[in-house]
Chain A
Amino acid sequence: MVIAVGIAYFAVIIGISIWTSRRTKTARDFFVAGNGIGLIALTVASVSTSVSGFAFIGGPGLIYAVGLGAMFIVLPASVTNVMGAWVLAKRMRLLGEARGLLTIPDAIGARYRSRSAQGLSGIAILVGIVGYMATNALAMGVVISAIFGVGLSWGIWLGMSVTLAYSVAGGILAGIYNDVFQGALMATASVLVFLFILNVGGGLGDISRTILAADPTFLSPWGKLTPLAALSFFFVFAMGSLGQPQGVHKYYMLRDPLQLKWYPLLKTLGLVLVLLLYFAVGVGVKAFVTSGRMATLSAPDQATPSLLLSITPLFLAALVFSGVAAATMSTVNSFINIGAAVVTHDLPVAFGQRLKSELAWGRTATVVIAVSAALVAQHSGAMVAFLGIFGWGLFASALVPALAVGLNWEGATRLGALASIATGLIVTLSLEIASYFKIFTFPSGVTASAVALVLSFLAFFGVSWLTRRSAAASIDPDVRMIMEM
């Protein structure tokens, strides 16, 4: 049953990819879907790419391990989508309209009239992408191996090959329509698992009473984390969402800018549906293990697989496994596309060059990036988890002040943006590496991502204030008009 559903899933992906590849003719089609995606498709695709395999595997495992404190990672979803809409969506979509922009570094370059800011932000994105993709490639390998029993290495390469095939053929257009299918699958699987757990556990009240009898700390607001650690999660994942390229890049693609009106509401509702599984599996498995209905887990990450293999009906298990594959593939596809745009567009522009055929070079870069990420995933062992955290934190600290604040504050300067991006890149890189190699241990509740994000903000505000006389010269008239809207 699981294999049959898995094969059906891949058949749909291949079908969509063949259809969309015929519609991809230009670099604009390849990188921003020709600015022609409708509201519903873009919303579902955005939900799909925002939620990686972590929400289905690592997240529930983290709740199982540390309790309710792990919810502080996903709670910001209540504000992040609408915050992104106010801060970034309108201005980026209008910049796309006025300037024909393709990438996030394009927007930074246009805002500050700076090729160096565009290039540096492109480098930060590229460095973060390799880590983030490797994490998702590994998760993809785990799931495909679980479905087809092919082993981890073959799982990584099979998953990456399918994702690569549709990324090369149809670029972001294929990615978007596959994301729509994958997002619908993820939401369906998540809701069904949520309802199934409530039903088996006798409702949330009974599940809570079972846990409270054995481990009350689990259901305290911070779980087994310190308040500082849980609140740090909230801060980094709320503010950091404004710098996640897989979400921000989507703003360029909406066909009609006026459709942004319903985008945050629909995306928030979609995210809530997809994240039901995160909460239900984490808390449900804890109750089931406590009551003896499930065996003790060998590792927290086994929460979802163990639940699926020991309690849920086979069809639901197959649906969720396909949902996890969908979550990882949609995220990987999005990052492949964004990385290819950096290599073929942003870095040449930073050096004052334009490639003659961005579409052909985009397809080549797509292959190189995907193969690199698969190799990193295959050979980096425990370092993969580190790379995922590093990637997320790097996007946040390098991009949020320069992009999110910069597009809304005319007093921000080119040097302020450069200082902020460089601070994010250097601080995240040095602190994460020092922490990984145990050269340095952070105090409880403090993470490299949080420190880098705070320092990047301070560098941005501080340097912009020191160089404020040059602020007016940093903005072209059309960009200023869009910023003032």
Chain B
Amino acid sequence: MHSKAGVEGNSTKRIARLVVTLATCAMAIAYGSAFMPHGAPAWASWLLALGIPAALGGIMVLGATRERGGVGKLALPFAFVIVTLAVGFCLVLGLPATEGPGSSLFLGLPLRAAIVIYGIGLMPIVVLPVAYALTFDTQTLNAEDVERVKELGRIRNEATNSEGKTVDASW
């Protein structure tokens, strides 16, 4: 028997799942609105601009959360990346279009293009993979975890061999 809490998971996972579900609904509404007679209204893009970072952040939190505990030190890098994506998308949506022959350039690109390439495209690279590596042993996987799984595999193999058949799965 599994307790209801066991099936539902911990509170961090529940919140992450809720965020992914709500973000997916927001994106469904945005796409649905594009089928209206005059095409997608302006707010549809804003729903995607906020829904995408929320959905990606929610999925990452869902994957990084261990059953006994939350995301630990990863909360900060997750927040940074979600905010970077959301602010980046909203800035390029909200800032006026000033691209032209006399535009100021930032690292070789007009402002809004620089936000896209350097902010959305490169900033997360500086933070996320490094955070993953630095917290790997405590948050993701350690030698003890691997040994437990190997032991589990050995027991399963012995059981399968002694029974002379593979463990069946249901339709």
| A contact set with B: CB distance below 8 Å | 68, 71-72, 74-75, 77-79, 81-83, 85-88, 90, 94, 97-100, 109-110, 113-116, 118, 203-205, 207-209, 212-213, 216-217, 219-222, 226-228, 231-232, 234-235, 238-239, 242, 257-258, 260-262, 264-265, 268-269, 272, 279, 352, 354, 404-405, 408-411, 414, 443-446, 450-451, 454-455, 457-458, 461, 468, 471-472, 476, 478, 481-485
Contacts and interface: CB of A to CB of B under 8 A. Distances in A.
Contacts of B65: 408
B101 A461 contact: no
Nearest to A465: B21
B93 interface: yes
A61 B136 CA distance: 39
Given A219-B113, A257-B141, A114 B48 contact: no
Contacts of A220: 97, 99, 110, 112-113
Contacts of B60: 79, 82-83, 86-87
B75 interface: no
A396 to B, nearest CB: 13
A480 B89 CA distance: 37
B128 A446 contact: no
Given A78-B121, A79-B56, A478 B28 contact: no
Q: Most A CB atoms within 10 A — which of B13, B128, B137? A: B128
Contacts of B140: 85-86, 90, 260-261
Contacts of A410: 6-9
Interface string B131-162: 01100110011110110111011001100000
Contacts of B21: 457, 461
Contact of A114 (B121, B146, B169): B169
22 contacts: A77-B121, A86-B63, A86-B140, A97-B149, A221-B112, A238-B52, A257-B141, A258-B142, A260-B141, A261-B133, A265-B129, A279-B117, A352-B168, A408-B62, A409-B9, A410-B7, A411-B8, A446-B31, A454-B28, A458-B24, A458-B25, A481-B152
A99 B167 CA distance: 10
B128 A444 contact: no
Q: Most B CB atoms within 10 A — which of A209, A231, A485? A: A231
Given A74-B121, A481-B148, 5 more contacts: A83-B63, A87-B60, A98-B150, A411-B7, A457-B24
Contacts of A483: 67
B171 A116 contact: yes
B76 interface: no
A209 B101 contact: yes
A265 B130 contact: yes
Given A87-B59, A213-B101, A207 B108 contact: yes
A313 B134 CA distance: 43
B55 to A, nearest CB: 7
Given A78-B120, A204-B109, A220-B99, A485 B66 contact: yes
Nearest to B21: A461
Nearest to B61: A86
Contact of B122 (A78, A213, A451, A485): A78
Given A114-B170, A411-B7, A235 B132 contact: no
Contact of A90 (B27, B123, B124, B141): B141
B158 to A, nearest CB: 13
Interface string B84-118: 01000100110001011101010111101101110
Contacts of B133: 261-262, 264-265
A251 B152 CA distance: 19
Contacts of B166: 354
B19 interface: no
B34 A208 contact: no
Nearest to A91: B63
B44 interface: yes
Q: Most B CB atoms within 10 A — which of A209, A235, A242, A472? A: A235
A115 B120 contact: no
A232 B24 CA distance: 12
Nearest to B49: A231
A115 B171 CA distance: 5
Nearest to B110: A219
A229 to B, nearest CB: 9
A260 B136 contact: yes
A82 B101 contact: no
B7 A97 contact: no
